[in-house]
Every structure is written in C-alpha cells, then in structure tokens.
Chains A and B, each alone.
Chain A
Amino acid sequence: MTEVMQISAMEQGLQGCPICTSVGSAEKTHCNRCGSKLHAGWANSIQHTWAWLATSVVLYLPANFLPITYTRFLGKETESTILGGVVTLWEHGSEPIAVIIFVASVLVPLSKMLVLAWLCLSVQFGSNFLLPQKTRLYRITEFVGRWSMIDVFVVSILVALIQLGNVMTILPGVAALAFAAMVVTTMLAALAFDPRLLWVSADKGDRV
C-alpha cells in the first residue's frame, strides 16, 4: 500500500456529494451538480449526532417501560411491555421469534446508541484506534437500524387483526409511538454522523 494514494478528499480541499457522488470544493455548502445540501461544517455533524442520540435515549425509556399493547381477553385487560412480550413468547415455546424481537427491539437500538456515542467520542479525541473496524461498525449500524421497526409493525398488525370486542381485543400503547420515534431518531443520528470524520480527525491526530 502506497502512502501517496491514501490522501483523503478533505485534505485536498474537496468533498463528495452523498446524493449524486460528484466531487467539488470542500467549502461549498450545496452540491454543484444536484443542489443537495452538503455537510455544511465538519463540527456540526458531531453536534447533530449527539442531539439526535440524546433524544433517542430519552425516548428509549418510555418505549421500554410503558405498555406497548393492552390485551383484552374475556373482559379482563392485561398490559405488556416490549420485554414482557419477549418473555411471553419464550414461555409459549416460540424461542426463535422471542430472540428476533429481543435483538431487533432491545439489543439493536441499545448497541446502536452506544456505537454512535463511541464513534462521536473517538472523532472528538482524534483517536486512530481500529479505524477500519470502526468504519465497518458504522456501516453496520446504519444498515441494521431500520430493522428495529419490526416491533412497531408487529403491534400494528396485531391491533388491526385482533378486534373481537370483549372476547379478545388488542389495543396499542403509547410505548409503540415512543419506540417508533426512537427508531427514527437513531436513524437520524446515524445519518447525521459523517464517518469520514473518523479518518480526518485521526490523520490530524487531534480534535476537529
């Protein structure tokens, strides 16, 4: 690998447009070819990511502790949270589904928040530790984030179908909305984060 080849666009005063892939001056705020807004300032990316992350952490709490569904069965009403639903599935012998829901609804959002926080911190401290791995981690985070919406869709299908009056009815809880908003905000956090900053800040060896 030759060192000469490994020069980032940022160092050459250039930037690429994420929408149309054209290359232009790093000082431009809008793309020459397609007119899209570019990462206006490099410092803003980290601030936006932190802001969306904080919002998603706040939403994560009601999403997990408030009931996501109310089940009315023969006049009796029970409520269940996301984790409660996972436990019920496990007890009824649907272990694989319980695992899917646990991974999509609990593990993925939580690890996504931790990963993004770690990435933001390493940009701010100019760390060059495990750079390619961190880039890959970001790519995975960006890719899997959307899949957390599974639980929201499961709830909406259950609510739509199971409407038999007092015999058996499932109603949606506020947690479903909080959860959907949490998924959207973590997606926005991932979109706001600019993975190129990892390399740029490490090249400089200090904070951006």
Chain B
Amino acid sequence: MVAESSMVCHECDLLVEVPRLEIRQKAYCPRCNYLLAANRPYAKRVVFAFATSGLLFLVLANAFPFLGFSAKGQERTVTLLQSVGILVTENLPLLAAVVFASIIAIPAMFLISIIYVSFSLANERSYPGTRKTLRWAVLLLPWSMAEIFLIGILVSFTKIVTIADVALGASFWSYVLFTICITVVVLHLDKRELWEHVELLRHD
C-alpha cells in the first residue's frame, strides 16, 4: 500500500516519498525538479493575516475613485466598478464579465475560501463544506489575475500620458496592496500540508 507521506509529482508522474519537512525546507522532485512541498515559517498565520487584509483592501478598492484623467480642460474620474461597467454600455457585456471575474470576483472568492478554511483550522473543527471550499480555492487560483491587471494599468498609462494627465485615486493604492496580499497568500499556501490538516479535522 502507498505510504501516507508519498506524493505523485504533478509534472512527471514520479511517485515520491516526501520526508517530514523542517521549517524553511522544501521538497523537489528528484526527476524533474518540480517544487513538491514547502514548509515556510508561520505559514498558516501568514496566510490568514494576509488573506483577511487582502479582502479588506479589495473592499476599499471599490469604495473610492480608482483613476482620474484630465485633458483639454475636461476631467474624468472612475471607480473600479465603473471602469468595468463601461464595457457593458459599449456592448461588450461578455468582455465585462471576463474582466470583472478575473480582477474582482475570482480573487475575492479565493480569499474568502482561504479565510474560511483558516478559521476551520484555527478553531480545530471542521466547518460545513471546508473541504469543498478548499477544493474551489485551488481550482480558482489560476483565474485570479490581479497582478496582470496592475501591469495592464501601468502599460495603459504610458499610452495616456502623452495626451493627458493621469491621477491615481485612493482605490488604486488599495488595489496595489490587495495584489501584494494575495501574492503573499499564494506563496505561503502548501496544498499538501493544508489538505493534511483539513483531513485530520475530519477524523477527530
């Protein structure tokens, strides 16, 4: 039978026995060098703290002016949601849906799922749907594109600055902080360890 500690490399299908990792140790696949598992210091606390702050920054990013623009004596300020909404009024509701999902909805759902699972682990009891929630968080992750959106904003600025002045609103900075938080969460998530802890709750 397979040992509890074994893992199949996601990249090359090698069956690997992963030893118990000390703090700051990482396990790589001996055949293809894929990162299998990592034990980062205070990972669970870091994940919970940054997921909560990230969600808060995302809420703030929707509460204030996002970007401002002025040219030829005219001024315009938009919120984050307005900038998505304009795609609906310009007859591309599907595009608006893709943008809204990838920069707001999916990252938010990811963070909420992670917070829920963290609560469950911190209180050492399995809340309803903990496993389903964790599964969704992992599935959603590649579709969260906050960091790509930020780069997109910077690129569009270089197009605009030649013809107009751009102002960065409070919400823009909140969005930057939100992106940093979600990146820290992703870096500290260890699928294998998280699932092992969730599994232990079920058996208790």
**A residues within 8 Å of B by Cβ?**
5-10, 12, 14-16, 18-23, 33-36, 89, 92, 94, 97, 100-101, 132, 135-136, 138-139, 146-147, 149-154, 156-164, 167-168, 171-172, 174, 176-177, 180-181, 184, 187, 191, 195-196, 198-200
Contacts and interface: CB of A to CB of B under 8 A. Distances in A.
Interface of B: 2, 6-15, 30-32, 34, 37, 67, 69, 71-72, 74, 76, 78, 82-84, 86-87, 90, 92, 94-95, 98-99, 102-103, 131-132, 134-135, 138-139, 142-143, 145, 148-149, 151-153, 155-156, 158-160, 162-164, 166, 191-192, 195, 199
A176 B139 CA distance: 25
Interface centre among B72, B82, B99 (most CB of A within 10 A): B99
5 contacts: A19-B191, A101-B155, A158-B159, A167-B71, A196-B12
Contact of A100 (B2, B139, B155): B155
A132 B32 contact: yes
B30 to A, nearest CB: 7
B12 A195 contact: yes
A135 B12 contact: yes
B160 A162 contact: yes
Nearest to A96: B158
A12 B134 CA distance: 28
Contact of A168 (B156, B159, B163, B199): B163
B13 A199 contact: yes
A199 to B, nearest CB: 5
Nearest to B132: A35
Per CB-CB distance, the 8 closest pairs between chain A and chain B, nearest first, are A16-B8, A153-B152, A196-B13, A160-B83, A20-B195, A157-B156, A8-B13, A161-B69
Contact of A33 (B15, B99, B199): B199
B148 A177 contact: no
What DSSP secondary structure best describes chain A's contact surface?
helix
B71 A164 contact: yes
Contacts of A138: 11
Given A14-B2, A14-B8, A176-B92, A157 B153 contact: yes
Contacts of B164: 162
Contacts of A156: 83-84, 86-87, 95, 99, 152
A85 to B, nearest CB: 8
